[in-house]
Amino acid sequence: MNSVCREHQCQIESINEKGKPMCRMCYQQLNEVVLEYQGKKKSLLKKNQEETLEKLRQAKKKMMEAQEILHISLTSHVETMTKKREALLGQFAEQERKVEDYLDQEQDFVNFKQNGNNITGDDTIIKLIQEEKKNISELEKGFYALLLKALNDYQFSTGVQHQNQQQNQQLVQLQEIKQITEKIQYQQYGSISGKSNVDYIAFNKDNNIIAYSESFEIHFIKIQDNTLQTIKFTIEDDDMQLINCVKFARQSNDIYYGSDNGQLNIWIQNDEKWKKQKQIKTHNGKGILDLKLNDDDSQLFCSGEDKTVEIYIKKQNYDLVKVQTIEHKEFTQLSSIVFNPISNELVSCSYSKLQIWSISDDYQFHSKQIIEGLEPSKSNKVYIINREIFFVASQSQIYFYKKNDEEKYFKVETSTILGNQKYQLPFCYDSDRQILLIQKKEGQEVDVLRFNLNENKFVHQMSITGVYNQLGIAKSGEYIMLYNKADVNLITVMKQE
């Protein structure tokens, strides 16, 4: 073709399906329109999927909480029916004793009459016996009806009954920890503005990289030269599944995260990018809820929606070998876990219960104790303070538990450790320096608290003005991250003075 395009004054190369002559510039212009359309389409699809994922997450949360409340109601009902059953058995035994007494008296009267004696019209013993027999018959009917109902309740709520627990604890000497008495103070370091949702926050080992998840993506922030810099790299889940937990390795900048379809993913760092190194299927495809790594990254504890904790050993080339699976038959659902290497105890937390496990060096385990009475909530998170004390942060309150001389945990009044202040979500905790960040229930402030070993309680350090949706804390409490969805400065980072 020798014709020239009227619009671009270029050589016409071909004619499209609509019969329009097209030059090189026409094709380039068309490609730009197509790319712009594809970008808008992808953005719209991503937005719709994020909204759908959030709706599914909220629906799932409500369903789990309703299931836990139903479980607690059934347990309470069974306990009530058991007490009624025991009371009725007592009444029944008493009535049987009375009947036997009356029958003995009746036989005495029969013998009395057979000996030629007459019973006067004023004797009412036989009438009383007949009435008592009638009462016993009615009581038996009511008792067996109630017993049948209780039996049905027991069958319906299978798994509610608690098994006897054994006690076999290894005593480990706790190393002395030097208590630093000066107050902790934070000052503004930097902030990043924009639009985003922050679900989970993690700091790396050197406290110079922050990772935070948003639905099915993980974003990164670099702390350098007294500024915050957004790293232009994003981890996106291949299956576009909701990310439930994010962790940095203890000895490297490797990223571990668990998704809603039970996939455990490991990404290794390459400069300011990360490359997928390993992906394994866990918990029979059920969602991963929590991940915990030991100090040298050789062991990984993974809890899932199938009510199990899977323990893995990391071999060469990031091969993960599962060495143990711990089932929680007493739970309706898991919410979080924590492992105490000092006492070799795993503490598992559900929506309303706790279970303490003892784990040996060869990964044999046994249940030591079950603790009930938590506020039914999917948000329950458990943290270790020291060998003797741990706590659970729930939706609107905190529970503290301390070990007694018999190596059993008992509940400690919150006010004795936390004071009379009321707190709520969000919260975060650094176990190295035992620093707790938590939102006040009344008043627009976040309190910075630190556990005092001498007084065995948290002591107020400072307050940070604002209401936040998510909190994060770096190793040893060097930095803290505050996320406010409604603020122009979306993410704020503060540094310890």
| CA distance linking residue 37 with residue 460, whole number of Å | 54
Q: What are the backbone angles phi and psi of residue 68, rounded to the nearest 5°? A: -70, -40
pLDDT reported for residue 23 = 86
| CA distance linking residue 258 with residue 250, whole number of Å | 17
pLDDT for 15 beyond 50: yes
Beta bridge partners of 243: 259
Stated pTM of the model? 0.67
Lowest mean pLDDT among 92-96, 252-256, 459-463: 92-96
pLDDT in tens, 347-391: 999 989 999 999 998 999 999 999 998 888 888 999 999 889 999
pLDDT for 166 beyond 70: no
pLDDT reported for residue 176 = 37
Q: How far is CA 58 from CA 32, 52, 53, 392, in A?
A: 39, 10, 9, 22
pLDDT reported for residue 246 = 96
Lowest mean pLDDT among 30-39, 288-297, 310-319, 327-336: 30-39
**Cβ atoms 225, 247 nearer than 8 A:** no
Lowest mean pLDDT among 19-23, 25-29, 165-169, 189-193: 165-169
Q: pLDDT band at residue 264, thresholds of 50, 70 and 90?
A: very high
pLDDT for 155 beyond 50: no
Distance of CA 343 to the CA centre of its chain: 22
Listed in sequence order, the residues at least 6 apart from 449 whose beta carbon sits closer than 8 Å to its beta carbon are 418, 435, 436, 437, 438, 458, 459, 460, 461
The better pLDDT of the pair 436, 86 is held by 436
pLDDT reported for residue 150 = 57
Q: pLDDT band at residue 178, thresholds of 50, 70 and 90?
A: very low
pLDDT for 163 beyond 60: no
CB atoms within 10 A of CB 473: 23
pLDDT reported for residue 25 = 86
pLDDT reported for residue 403 = 93
Q: pLDDT band at residue 159, thresholds of 50, 70 and 90?
A: very low
Residues 169-176: what's their mean pLDDT? 36
In this structure, what token pair is assigned to residue 106? 């009746």
The better pLDDT of the pair 116, 342 is held by 342
Which amino acid does the sequence have at 159?
G
Helix axes 24-114, 125-156, angle to 10 degrees: 160
Residues 450-472: what's their mean pLDDT? 90
Listed in sequence order, the residues at least 6 apart from 456 whose beta carbon sits closer than 8 Å to its beta carbon are 389, 417
pLDDT reported for residue 453 = 79
- Secondary structure E strands in 122-260: 186-192, 200-203, 209-214, 217-224, 227-236, 243-248, 255-259
**Cβ atoms 433, 443 nearer than 8 A:** no
pLDDT reported for residue 321 = 94
Average pLDDT taken over every residue of the chain: 83
In this structure, what token pair is assigned to residue 190? 């930097």
Q: pLDDT band at residue 145, thresholds of 50, 70 and 90?
A: low
- Residue closest to 356 by CA, chosen among 341, 345, 342: 345
Q: pLDDT band at residue 443, thresholds of 50, 70 and 90?
A: confident
